[in-house]
């Protein structure tokens, strides 16, 4: 593994003073030259979104943390080959998604329901809160059982609000393909959610 080259103390202090003002592209160029301080700043900028993406795909905090760490290891190893045809964020999240899918394809991988996020509704009233909680639990259950390629699309578009262009860059396909595949994913989600929604309505 190619290890980061630590900057001199003078350069590190200089970069430390400019960290918050250096554009991401500048940090990428410095990191491509082996500057560890710049790469550490890139990690600081992107680590939360990488973790959130992995968590929503995998549904397990320990696995998401492993993917987060491996994403930045892979990014460092491949950084010199990054040609900046896409944004650094898109490139980084492509690595994250591919690592998540590789993990899920392992024969010994145990699926998890996504997100241990707060399920309490802001709506007033105990009944509304209970119904909302039941809907979220149902959604989590359905998404956990969906095919990975559908689940990733739902996460990227409907949960994280990514643009079609960005999703196409992350998945390495055309925008038209993203739109058609997302349409199928949403259709499958609605179909699988229907029994839960009908039961809730009847109750």
Residues facing residue 35 across a β-bridge: 5
pLDDT in tens, 44-65: 999 999 999 999 999 889 999 9
Is a pLDDT exceeding 50 seen at residue 175?
yes
Going from the N-terminus, what domains does the chain have, and what CATH number goes with each?
9-105 (1.10.1740.10), 126-202 (1.10.10.10)
Neighbours of 145 (CB within 10 A): 11
List C-alpha distances in Å: 147 to 143, 184, 188.
Answer: 8, 11, 10
Question: Residue with structure tokens 């970069």?
Answer: 15
pLDDT in tens, 65-98: 999 999 999 999 999 889 888 899 999 999 999 9
List C-alpha distances in Å: 84 to 1, 81, 144.
Answer: 22, 9, 33
Confidence of residue 139 (pLDDT cuts 50, 70, 90): confident
Confidence of residue 122 (pLDDT cuts 50, 70, 90): very low
pTM: 0.77
d(CA 137, CA 33): 47
Is a pLDDT exceeding 60 seen at residue 12?
no
Q: Which pLDDT does position 17 carry in this prediction?
A: 46
Question: Residue with structure tokens 């578009």?
Answer: 157
> Are the C-beta atoms of 137 and 119 separated by less than 8 Å?
yes
d(CA 158, CA 140): 14
Instruction: Name the H helices within the chain.
Output: 9-18, 24-32, 36-58, 61-78, 88-105, 126-145, 148-153, 164-171, 175-202
> Are the C-beta atoms of 144 and 114 separated by less than 8 Å?
yes
Query: What number is the average pLDDT over the span 19-39?
Result: 83
């Amino acid at each position: 593994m190619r290890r980061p080259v630590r900057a001199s103390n003078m350069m590190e202090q200089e970069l430390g003073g400019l960290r918050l003002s250096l554009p991401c592209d500048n940090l990428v160029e410095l990191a491509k030259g082996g500057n560890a301080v710049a790469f550490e700043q890139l990690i600081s900028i992107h680590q939360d979104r990488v973790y959130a993406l992995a968590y929503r795909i995998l549904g397990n905090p320990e696995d998401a943390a492993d993917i987060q760490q491996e994403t930045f290891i892979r990014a460092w190893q491949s950084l010199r080959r990054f040609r900046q045809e896409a944004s650094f964020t898109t490139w980084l999240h492509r690595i994250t998604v591919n690592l998540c899918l590789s993990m899920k394809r392992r024969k010994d991988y145990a699926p998890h329901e996504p997100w241990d996020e707060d399920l309490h509704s802001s709506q007033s009233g105990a009944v509304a809160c209970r119904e909302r909680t039941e809907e979220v639990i149902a959604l989590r259950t359905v998404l956990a059982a969906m095919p990975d390629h559908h689940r990733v699309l739902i996460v990227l578009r409907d949960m994280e609000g990514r643009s079609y262009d960005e999703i196409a860059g992350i998945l390495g396909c055309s925008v038209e393909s993203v739109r058609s595949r997302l349409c199928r994913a949403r259709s499958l989600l609605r179909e699988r959610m229907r029994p839960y929604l009908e039961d809730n309505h009847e109750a």
